[in-house]
Amino acid sequence: MKDPHSIYAFYKKLIQIRKQNETIQNGRYVPFCKDHPFVYAYKREGMDEEIYVLCNFYGTKTNVELDLQELELLLSNYPDRIYENGVFVLRPYEAIAVKKKPLAFV
């Protein structure tokens, strides 16, 4: 229970994020990548933010094309994320949640 990389710690963080985020609690659920053979993906749309959740439920690496700019990693079961040129590389059994940062107006 004291290991910061344990499943227990992961679920504690997941619950904390849910409690603190209005978009996760009440945002509109929008599935995408419906035809992807390995990935379950959806986004939550709130008034001023979008949160994307990508889950690879299989033991092989897979790619998800999702061209997003300015992302903030909210949660992952790996210590990092692989995102290059509009493609997420999801490792076996990887799940991530990222928040699309709002555009700054000048």
**In the predicted model, is pLDDT for residue 103 greater than 90?**
no
In a domain, 50, yes or no: yes
In a domain, 80, yes or no: yes
- The DSSP string of 11-60 is HHHHHHHHHH-HHHHHSEEEEE-TT-SSEEEEEEE-SS-EEEEEEE-SSS
In a domain, 105, yes or no: no
Q: Which band of pLDDT confidence, cut at 50, 70 and 90, is reported for residue 102?
A: low
The pLDDT score that the predictor gives to residue 55 is 96
Average confidence score pLDDT of the chain: 89
In a domain, 16, yes or no: yes
Pairing of strands 71-76, 95-100: antiparallel
CATH number of the CATH domain containing 87? 2.60.40.1180
**In the predicted model, is pLDDT for residue 9 greater than 80?**
yes
In a domain, 57, yes or no: yes
Number of domains in the chain: 1
In a domain, 2, yes or no: no
**In the predicted model, is pLDDT for residue 106 greater than 70?**
no
In a domain, 106, yes or no: no
In a domain, 1, yes or no: no
Structural domain harbouring 96: 7-100
**What percentage of the chain reaches a pLDDT higher than 90?**
64
> Which tens digit of pLDDT belongs to each residue from 38-89?
999 999 998 888 999 999 999 999 999 988 878 888 999 988 888 888 899 9
